Amino acid sequence: MTYLAPRHPLQILQQIEFEEAVRPEDPRFVDTEVARGSPRTLDRIARKFGLNMSSGEFYPATKRHSLLFGHIGCGKTTELLHLSEKLRAGRQLYVVNVDVLNELDRNNLQYADALMALAKGLLGALAADNIDLEGNAAHGLERWFAEHVKTEDRAKELVAQLETNVKVEGGIPFLAKLFASFTAAAKTNATYKDSLRIVIRNTFTQFADAFNSFLRSAEKALLDAGKGRRILFVIDSTDKLSSDDTKRFFVDDAEQLLAIEALMLYTAPLSLKYDGIPLGKVDDIVLPVIKLKERDGTAYASGCNAMRSMLLRRADESVFSDSALIDMIVESSGGHPRELLRLLKLCCEFAEGDQIDRIAVSAAIKALASDYRRFLEPEDYDLLVQMDRESEQHGGNNERTRRLLYRLALIEYNDGGWRRSHPVVRSLEGYSRALQASISG
């Protein structure tokens, strides 16, 4: 069935979901590799795990943990889904996607919760692909459960609940149900979650050894089945954690995460990279936002076309009273996909009839700008003006710069090579006053 973009503002409005990722097969999907000004980002990610996607050459390390940085809402999830499809097609990496937003409590996440979700995701993927493991593949994890979870006083209530819901059977079916129950408890039950975290923290060496052994057995079965040589876990939505949970997860608990001998790719907030926190043994790469202009201010056609396509796959061109309004919305987004959706949503709210006219677009831009006005301080405008005017320089980072980047008042382009203020911020009177003072001074 041919896809048709919605043609009425109310219809468009009901279909906008900021947290929704677009899969490659979705008709709304737009390939943005070139548009981001960094066309080899996905290839570089694959190479970090030992794979040349062009030739198929594969030289994986025993373990590799990497972070994908980027502005929140810049499209990391969509790009990871795109990458996962390309990697699966090569049959070298067996990709297991785990979204902590769906599986766990992102407002209170620790490494123990994530490990349970990884185990659940892997077991579910193996079952879906009918991968048969050797009879003793799950022995280590079963023994860990029997020796440490079932015998721990603080976990007795949790175990009783689990054994009520999980039929007592051995092997992979038991583990699949067990870790599904663990993950559910970690998301919905604070008491059970705390008990489980304590057990894993106190017996982590044994759990890591058992999990690593299970991974090797699973990879052998995948190789025999022609499904892949190594497992790659893609852990998404870890960029949406609170600042305290981000530090705990990626810094304080890093040694526990690194003890798992696997290939892992996590999303991470751009602010973590700017905090100057030593991340030690992890690799990283930045996913830039879509570039609308070159550093010297000239238009970047690939970026503009990609954002225009992104918009028109969510709103038919006939909805706009003037085609110039499409470019106006794209320009005001700064190349940030979620900001584009926010502007489109506001346009639909301000539209009075069945079309989006210039009055509605202007009102939408003002409304979005007002969101920034509410948290920007006078000194913020001074810094933003300074960065915009000193376009050929990178003046370093401080706490104020990091806060502006996190709040998107400042947007980073080309892997951090340069930065500009958000276009709607430049429409605010505070920015205009700071700019005039800078020119006069």
DSSP 219-282: HHHHHHTTS-SEEEEEEESGGGS-HHHHHIIIIITHHHHHTS-SEEEEEEEHHHHHTT---TT-
Same domain, residue pair 94 and 222: yes
The verdict on residue 14 lying in a domain is no
Are 69 and 246 within 8 A, CB to CB? no
Same domain, residue pair 313 and 270: no
Last residue of a domain, one of 286, 305, 339: 286
The verdict on residue 90 lying in a domain is yes
Q: Where are the alpha helices (H) located in 49-153, listed in sequence order?
A: 76-90, 100-103, 111-128, 139-144
Q: How does pLDDT run across 216-244, given as a tens digit for each residue? A: 999 999 999 999 999 999 999 888 887 78
- Residues near 376 by beta carbon (within 8 Å), at least 6 away in sequence: 409, 425, 428, 430
The verdict on residue 281 lying in a domain is yes
How far apart CA 12 and CA 269 sit, in angstroms, is: 29
Same domain, residue pair 220 and 342: no
Q: Which of 39-53, 109-123, 134-148 has the lowest mean pLDDT?
A: 134-148
The closest alpha carbon to 98, from 242, 262, 208, belongs to 262
pLDDT mean across residues, the chain: 88
Same domain, residue pair 361 and 436: yes
Q: How does pLDDT run across 303-317, given as a tens digit for each residue? A: 999 999 999 999 999
pLDDT of 5 over the 70 cut: yes
How far apart CA 247 and CA 194 sit, in angstroms, is: 19
Q: What DSSP string runs through 274-320?
A: HTT---TT-EEEE-PPPPSB-TTS-B-HHHHHHHHHHHHTTS-GGGB
% pLDDT > 70, the chain? 92
In one-letter notation, the amino acid at residue 69 is: F
Per-residue model confidence (pLDDT) at position 154: 61
Per-residue model confidence (pLDDT) at position 167: 57
DSSP state of 26: S
pLDDT of 72 over the 80 cut: yes
Per-residue model confidence (pLDDT) at position 240: 85
Backbone angles phi, psi at 274, to 5 degrees: -85, -15
Same domain, residue pair 332 and 189: no
| Torsion sign (Cα): 248, 251, 256, 261 | positive
Same domain, residue pair 170 and 57: yes
pTM of the complete model: 0.87
- Please identify which residue in the block is written with the tokens 């009102």: 363
Q: What count of Cα atoms within 13 Å lies in the side-chain half-sphere of residue 399?
A: 0
Reported as a pLDDT band with limits 50, 70 and 90, residue 269 is confident
Same domain, residue pair 216 and 353: no
The closest alpha carbon to 137, from 227, 218, 212, belongs to 218
Q: How does pLDDT run across 25-55, given as a tens digit for each residue? A: 999 999 999 999 887 888 999 999 999 999 9
How far apart CA 27 and CA 387 sit, in angstroms, is: 38
Are 108 and 245 within 8 A, CB to CB? yes
Same domain, residue pair 77 and 182: yes
The verdict on residue 16 lying in a domain is no
Are 145 and 178 within 8 A, CB to CB? yes
Which run of H or of E encompasses 206?
helix 204-224
The verdict on residue 11 lying in a domain is no
Same domain, residue pair 209 and 301: no
How far apart CA 4 and CA 180 sit, in angstroms, is: 38
Domain range for 265 is: 39-286
The closest alpha carbon to 83, from 93, 73, 70, 74, belongs to 93
Same domain, residue pair 204 and 297: no
Q: What DSSP string runs through 374-411?
A: TT--HHHHHHHHHHHH-TT------HHHHHHHHTTSEE
Reported as a pLDDT band with limits 50, 70 and 90, residue 166 is low
The total number of structural domains that make up the chain = 2
Which run of H or of E encompasses 99?
strand 93-99
The closest alpha carbon to 126, from 90, 166, 80, 173, belongs to 173
pLDDT of 170 over the 60 cut: no
Same domain, residue pair 301 and 179: no
Same domain, residue pair 274 and 381: no
